[in-house]
Structure 1
Amino acid sequence: MLDDVDRALIHALHIDGRTPFSRIATVLGVSTQTVARRYRRLTAEVALRVVGLPDTRHSGQAQWILRLTAAPHSAQNLARALARRADTSWVKLISGGTEIFTIVTTPDHQPDRALLLHDIPRTAGITAVSAHCLLHLYHGGPSAWRGRPNVLDERQQRLLEPVVQPHSERHAVTRSDAALLAALRHDGRASHADLAKTTGWSAATVARRLAELRAGGALFFDIELDTAVLGIAVQALLWMSVAPTHLDRVATTLAGHAELAFVAATTGSTNLVANALCTGPAALHRYLTQRLGSVEGIHTIETAPVLRTVKATSPMAVV
């Protein structure tokens, strides 16, 4: 059960995952030792984790959403195998455990280099595969789910906002950043000294590169945790068909819904996908029939319940 300090700490890390514990302690009015102790406890008990992630909109990378249907006896093993890959995130078992959802990141916009055309068709047990190119992210990534704790007042939030020095040029992610990004995906709070050991750079070079990537919007920090502690009991993926002329309006509207953690336009038979997080089946039903149902322009909706998230964004989240 989270108390007020726990919720304030989560909110603070949401604002800036690399904020020093000493600054968080000052803003919360507690000791630095208390903040560090609470962080360690939340890491152990609710899988709280800070992760550093590239913003694919500024990195030259492409993302593909895969829906894989597999025999019941092989779906879980396949999901674990996908979770172990460095190019996958958000591996979820859905639709009764016979379908897998995952996002695959490719180094460029050439899908023939992605696992979807090489490894997946050769895997035994798969009965159907569909791939959808993620065309535009309306909500998710740097714009976090609004259902997270929001307990700090405006003054406290201003004190915790990251100090990002503007740069005269935009710095995109390059191949030389691979080791740095891999380390930050494991631990977004890793020290400059630890990152220097991983990359072979000096601590000063690490600090400078982090500042450049953050200032250019190529790198952001997010948090992961077990949403059950926030009262979330039901997750569902929503596949929607929207007339192209209404797509931008509908997606922008949905991006403002607190129930949705992810909204994106895709290719395929449906052109909009969202991830809903609700307190229970009744809450999901109310959202679908009342709030979502009142949005004009949505022709069809397929609701796929999420049974389990095998992997979030971080490799350390694999279970």
Structure 2
Amino acid sequence: MDRANGTGDPGGPTGFDALDHRLIHALQLDGRAPFSRIAAVLGVSDQTVARRYTRHRTHGTLKVLGLPNAQALGEVQWLVRVQCTPDAAVAVAEALARRPDTSWVSLMSGGTEISAVCRAVSSDHSDVLLLQKLPRTPSVIGVTAHCRLHQFYGGPQGLISKSGALTDEQIAALSPPPPDPAAAPVALTDADRRLFDVLARDGRTPLAELAAATGWSPTTVRRRFAELRANGVLYYDVDYDLRQFGYGVMVALWLSVEPARLAAAGEAMAAHPEVAYACATTGPNNLFASVLCRDVGAVYTYLTTRVAALPGVRSMESAPRIRHIKGPGPLFLAGHAAPGRRR
């Protein structure tokens, strides 16, 4: 029994209860917050928070990731759709996932389309993958890529943020100061990149290990953490098992919206509890979203109610995800199960 909060410990290796939901929300806000600080805000003991996190982390149902913010770094992101021959889609998706400049690689409905996000240091570097490598793969029969213009929801704003797990007061107590939106893009050093390589695998990696990886002193690591957070370059995400939240279906939506109403439609969609990610893009379908629902019936309800009420929508295309290959961090190796993702 977790007596500090009066709730029973679920006992099993993967079960999430209300306290776990609050813990995940807290870690989404500040992935490296000390357990003592989280415990004080949640009104439980330090030992309860540490035990909950350790259990879920050990069983692979929860992981904190420290990630670079592409916008703060001045990087360009592309939403890519790759059409393959039926016998090669999985191999092409896995090859894409092994690249360090890709994330969110998924196999979509029909088994012949791959969806992925590709990053480039600048627009001058975008052609390496999109124009040279992918089209030369014999099993690739078509590639479309659209540049992300504006993010309405995602990144530091995880789906757990819409759950109501924490009160407004608890959110304020755990949230870091907002980054300066007018800050100039930050150039990462080689040591910064080594820091991010470690944090992408475990955002709560101990300070001594980060110091060893970067060649910095622990004091320098702390100072650089503060700088990267203040500039909005470093944010935390939580990788968790979607099934523990009751989500069974992820659907990608591409909407064509009247330009004059694109901002209003994107902001409205960002507020939907089903939307894990939403952004404006180039191309005829200028609004993209990842939607999570409990089942296909809930998808139908979402499309015919919330999406139907969006302003200026001219057309819509949808595709369910049938296999998740890679999330925002490094590719998981064979034999290491990745938690279900929510984008």
Q: TM-score range by the shorter chain?
A: over 0.9
Change (3 A) 1:22 1:256: same
What whole-Å deviation, never above 9, does each CA across 1:42-88 have from its counterpart, x for those lacking one? Answer: 12445311111122221111101110011222111111111111111
Aligned-partner Cα distance in 2 for 1:293–1:165: 35
Q: How does 1:1-319 map to 2 (within 5 A)?
A: 1-45=15-59, 47-146=61-160, 149-162=163-176, 172-176=186-190, 177-317=192-332
Letter in 2 for 1:98: T
The answer to whether the 8 Å contact 1:111/1:117 transfers is no
Cα deviation, residue 305, structure 1: 0.6
The answer to whether the 8 Å contact 1:147/1:259 transfers is no
Aligned-partner Cα distance in 1 for 2:115–2:201: 22
What whole-Å deviation, never above 9, does each CA across 1:211-248 have from its counterpart, x for those lacking one? Answer: 01101112211111121210111110001111211111
- Could you list the runs of 5+ residues in structure 1 that have no partner in the other structure? none
- Could you list the runs of 5+ residues in structure 2 that have no partner in the other structure? 1-14, 338-343
TM-score normalised according to structure 1 size: 0.92
Change (3 A) 1:4 1:246: closer
Please say which of residues 118-127 and 201-210 is displaced more in the overlay.
118-127
What whole-Å deviation, never above 9, does each CA across 1:271-316 have from its counterpart, x for those lacking one? Answer: 1111011111111101101111011200000001111211111115
Cα deviation, residue 186, structure 1: 1.2
Q: Percent identity?
A: 43
Change (3 A) 1:175 1:107: farther
Aligned-partner Cα distance in 1 for 2:294–2:315: 24
Aligned-partner Cα distance in 2 for 1:247–1:27: 38
Aligned-partner Cα distance in 1 for 2:58–2:114: 27
Secondary structure, counterpart of 1:80 in structure 2: helix
Aligned-partner Cα distance in 2 for 1:204–1:302: 50
Cα deviation, residue 146, structure 1: 4.9
Aligned-partner Cα distance in 2 for 1:122–1:211: 43
Aligned-partner Cα distance in 2 for 1:165–1:107: 21
The answer to whether the 8 Å contact 1:260/1:274 transfers is yes
Cα deviation, residue 148, structure 1: 5.7
Please state which structure has a larger fraction of its residues in helix: 1
Secondary structure, counterpart of 2:205 in structure 1: coil
Letter in 2 for 1:36: A
Aligned-partner Cα distance in 2 for 1:152–1:49: 19
Secondary structure, counterpart of 1:42 in structure 2: helix
Aligned-partner Cα distance in 2 for 1:207–1:170: 21
Cα deviation, residue 122, structure 1: 2.0
Letter in 2 for 1:22: S
Change (3 A) 1:66 1:141: same
Which runs of at least 4 in structure 1 moved beyond 6 Å after TM superposition? 163-166
